[in-house]
Amino acid sequence: MQFLIINGPNLNMLGIREPSIYGSMTYDDLVTSCLGWCHDVGVDGECFQSNHEGAIVDRIQQAFFDKVDGIVMNPAAYTHTSVAILDALKATGIPTVEVHISDVHTREAFRHHSYVSLAAVKTIIGHGVQGYQEGITWLADYLRAQSKA
Ligand code: CA2
């Protein structure tokens, strides 16, 4: 199985700023960890980060043509604004787990709504970077159960 891990705008700043909200792990460390967590559950992983909405839409579409089995995605600020990313997920139909490092529900009201949740098979909120590991593991189990059904 092939998984794509997508991170949205400003997540390349992980570990550099705001460690009290997002922790001290750098983006490069997160990539290494995610690839390791994919390996642990027997899937091939690839990571992609962009600060640009259209680039993320393009990458989701490319994942469809590349026959990617699952997406684990932290859309960052686009979570709360992007109908285009929601539509891309719906158009491709790739099972997607949404991950947020912080607990968005205890933060500003504008972070409480997620467009991406409308297409996600699961949402993991507020578990720090461990949320990516949970998402990868959950998605591998989910897709294996689906393929047996
Ligand atoms: O909690 C999350 O994972 C978020 O998706 C992070 C987004 C935020 O807009 C969402 O509401 C919740 C922001 C990502 C910004 O990442 C930074 C990392 C380090 C320093 C500054 C920003």
DSSP assignment string, 78-126: GGGT-HHHHHHHHHH---EEEEESS-GGGS-GGGS--SGGGT-SEEEES
Is 22 one of the annotated active-site residues of the chain? yes
- Spot the catalytic one: 78, 100, 115, 132: 100
The CB of 6 under 6 Å from ligand 1? The reply is no
CB of 73 shorter than 6 A to ligand 1 = no
Q: How far apart are CA 21 and CA 53, in angstroms?
A: 23
Give residue-wise pLDDT tens across range 82-123.
999 999 999 999 999 999 999 999 999 999 999 999 999 999
Size (the chain), residues: 149
What pTM value is reported for the model? 0.97
Q: Quickly state the pLDDT bin for 18 (edges 50, 70, 90).
A: confident
Mutation test residue for ligand 1: of 53, 78, 79, the one with most atoms within 8 Å of CB: 79
In this prediction, residue 57 has a pLDDT band, given cuts at 50, 70 and 90, of very high
| pLDDT at residue 17 is higher than 90 | no
Please check the confidence at residue 23 and state whether its pLDDT lies above 90.
no
113 noted as active-site residue: no
CA atoms lying within 13 Å on the CB side of residue 2:
8
**Residue 74: CB atoms within 10 Å:** 24
Cα separation, 117 vs 34, in Å, equals: 21
Cα separation, 144 vs 108, in Å, equals 37
Q: Which of 22, 78, 115, 132 is catalytic?
A: 22
In this predicted structure, what is the pLDDT of residue 125?
Answer: 98
